[in-house]
Amino acid sequence: MKFSRRARQEVEVNLTPLIDVVFLLLIFFMVSTTFTKETYLSIDLPESSSQSNRVADLQIEILITREGDFAINGVALINRQQSTLRAAIGKISEGDTAIPMVITADSATPHQSVVTALDVAGQLGFSRLSITTTLTNPAD
């Protein structure tokens, strides 16, 4: 008995739907990805050393009271204006912006007063700033 052989059909895998799905996934991930530009502030952190650091001979200390009044190196200013603060810092620093500056604010100080002090220091070109706070008794 002679059987007739069937013609072999070539097996074919259609890749078109697979490619379509891959492109759709690629487009989905591209659209759903968020591109955000992160902004950051560069801070130089102090390093520990076994040697004791000497305290700077000259530094400018701005003290901000609970009411928002300014005092520079223990001398109170006559008002809270930015121009008065700028003139006082300029007089004490004599144009030397390498002098370290410490801004000490009361814990209940209005935020605007601290921002004003930082703004004046930045406008004058001071880059060595330290910020401290003091906690006062609310009953005072």
Domains of the chain, by residue range, sit at 60-134
Helix residue spans in the chain (DSSP H) = 16-32, 82-93, 111-124
Tokens of 9: 């059909």
Closest to 98 in 3D by CA, of 59, 52, 63: 59
Give the per-residue pLDDT at 125: 86
Read off the pTM.
0.56
Rounded mean pLDDT, 106-111: 83
Tens of pLDDT, residue by residue over 45-86, are 666 555 544 444 678 898 888 888 888 888 888 888 888 888
Class of domain 60-134: alpha beta
Give the per-residue pLDDT at 26: 94
Tokens of 6: 């069937």
